[in-house]
Amino acid sequence: MTTSAVPSEQTSVYTVSQLTLQIKKLLEGHYRFIWVIGEISNLRTPASGHCYFTLKDEQSQIRAVLFRAQQRYLRFVPEDGLQVLCQGRISVFEARGEYQLIVDVMEPRGIGALQLAFEQLKKKLQAEGLFDASRKRPLPLCPQRVGIVTSATGAAIRDILKVLQRSPYSLTVTLLPVLVQGQGAAAEIAGALTAIPELAGKFAWDVMIVGRGGGSLEDLWPFNEEVVARAVAQCPVPVISAVGHEIDLTICDLVSDLRTATPTSAAEWIVAQLEQLHVQLAEQEQRSTALLQRTIDSKRQMVQFLGKRLVDPRRRLADVRLLLDHRLARLNLALRRRLEQLQTAAAQLNQNLTFYNPRARILENRSAIEQRFKEMSFHLRSILETDQHRLQSHRLRLESLSPLAVLARGYSITYRLPEGVIVRKAAEVETGNRVHVQLGEGALECLVENKRPEGLTSRKELNRGDQKKA
């Protein structure tokens, strides 16, 4: 007995879309606002900003999505391998017939979201070098102009001012009031730090204190935001972080140039710096005063010693005048003697110059030169005439031997083309060859029609050859 596979009229037949829709309604109606624990894997974030990932345990896995709008509530960054607790609803993606978990809330498993976010940001900024000591700004030796970024009504500003007011040193304090807790606090703190470069020219701060009093991790969280950390790192004025109590550690503490346990400690550090500077200045003043006193005493003793050795200057002046008169008399005598010697030498040289006057010798040499010039001119003319006669004789000999003279008498030179070789025998050319005939005047390009191996061709033979052609 066989059964038919064709459904009967009473059997419901679904299309794929209808079946998928029914499954979607069933799952979404039954599994809404459920909690699921699993490990994130295959996490990807396309350009849309939505996070697509897989939640898995040791035996199974399910696709999940965290839309961009829900991510603003996260305190940490999802990453592969992280155990999380997700609240959401089951939905079916009809186009592929796949079901997935649409996540509304995500919390890390085993560690708080804030603590995880703290560790993640700390790791990121440390990799960028924002915690390195090499990039921290040097703190001022004399911090007299102080800027404070904190709440205007909090305990931190009261504690700071209480310590600074007790200081005997001159201080200028500027408050940049901001929220230090709750939503928008991180943006205000970062905004105040970002405005410091524009205000620095007016207030010329030496140091900035950023902080607040103690509180829970949630209360202190604005100082763990990335925007605050980067604003602290980019601030041109050295920053002292004074957040919470001594046991509290924030990202702001790690990025700042100096971390103090409390706001009060930050103010005490400023007062201590001023006290230390004044102590050093006082010690330096004492050392300088003592050194100056020793120098004055030494110079006074030297002046007293030189005063005892000092002779009456009038006596010294008289001696110098006598010495000057004596030296002047000797100088005048030496000048007169030297002048006489020079006059005698000049007279002797004038006498020698008259004796050795070169005028006669010059006239004699000039006459000899004129005679030599005449002899040389005559000799050159003789040589020139002789060379002219010799040149004329050689020219006549060359003309008699020139091949052009031979060609002018009716002879010619024949060259075989295209080699350009001189033809001396009829056997050196063939009938049909082209030849070049050089005449006394001009040249001929000829074609060999006939040749005679030997003997001369008479005029009659040439005429017979022409008649035959005719």
- DSSP annotation string for 39-89: EEEEEE--TT--EEEEEE-SS-EEEEEE-HHHHTT-SS---TT-EEEEEEE
Domain 16-110 superfamily per CATH: Nucleic acid-binding proteins (2.40.50.140)
Q: How confident is the model at residue 2 (pLDDT cuts 50, 70, 90)?
A: very low
Give the DSSP letter of residue 222: G
Q: How confident is the model at residue 238 (pLDDT cuts 50, 70, 90)?
A: very high
Return the ∠ at Cα 240 (arms to 236 and 243), rounded to 5°.
130
**Inter-residue contact 76 to 112 (CB < 8 Å):** no
**Inter-residue contact 437 to 444 (CB < 8 Å):** yes
Q: What is the pLDDT of residue 210?
A: 92
| Collapsed DSSP state (helix, strand, coil) of residue 447 | strand
The mean pLDDT value for 237-260 works out to 86
pLDDT of 423 > 70? The answer is: yes
**Token pair 């991180």 in the structure block, residue:** 186
| Cβ-based burial of 390 (10 A; exposed 0-12, middle 13-18, buried ≥19) | exposed
**Inter-residue contact 68 to 112 (CB < 8 Å):** no
CA atoms within 13 A on the CB side of 151: 17
Separation of alpha carbons 446 and 28, rounded Å: 116
Q: Closest by alpha carbon to 206, among 163, 162, 236?
A: 236
Residues of the chain above pLDDT 90, percent: 7
Fold of 119-132+142-277: Rossmann fold (3.40.50)
| Collapsed DSSP state (helix, strand, coil) of residue 177 | strand
- Residues ≥6 apart with Cβ < 8 Å to 454: 426
Q: Closest by alpha carbon to 63, among 102, 104, 19, 23?
A: 102
Q: What is the pLDDT of residue 177?
A: 92
pLDDT of 336 > 80? The answer is: yes
pLDDT of 422 > 60? The answer is: yes
Residues in the chain: 470
Q: What is the pLDDT of residue 449?
A: 84
Separation of alpha carbons 182 and 225, rounded Å: 12
Six token digits for residue 62: 């399910």
- Residues ≥6 apart with Cβ < 8 Å to 404: 440
Residues 185-212 pLDDT 10s: 989 999 989 998 888 888 888 899 998 8
Mean pLDDT estimate for the chain:
83
pLDDT of 1 > 60? The answer is: no
Q: How confident is the model at residue 53 (pLDDT cuts 50, 70, 90)?
A: very high
Query: At residue 200, what is the residue type?
Result: A
Residues of the chain above pLDDT 70, percent: 92
Q: What is the pLDDT of residue 221?
A: 83
pLDDT of 4 > 60? The answer is: no
**Token pair 């069933």 in the structure block, residue:** 26
pLDDT of 220 > 50? The answer is: yes
DSSP string, 393-440: HHHHHHHHH-HHHHHHTT--EEEETTTTEEP-SGGGS-TT-EEEEE-S
pLDDT of 42 > 80? The answer is: yes
**Inter-residue contact 193 to 228 (CB < 8 Å):** yes
Give the DSSP letter of residue 244: S
Separation of alpha carbons 144 and 256, rounded Å: 19
Residues 269-301 pLDDT 10s: 888 888 888 888 888 888 888 888 888 888 888
Separation of alpha carbons 18 and 126, rounded Å: 54
Q: What is the pLDDT of residue 52?
A: 92
- Residues ≥6 apart with Cβ < 8 Å to 414: 422, 423, 435, 436, 437, 438
Mean pLDDT check: name the lowest of 3-12, 15-24, 195-204, 394-403. 3-12
Neighbours of 114 (CB within 10 A): 17
DSSP string, 279-303: HHHHHHHHHHHHHHHHHHHHHHHHH
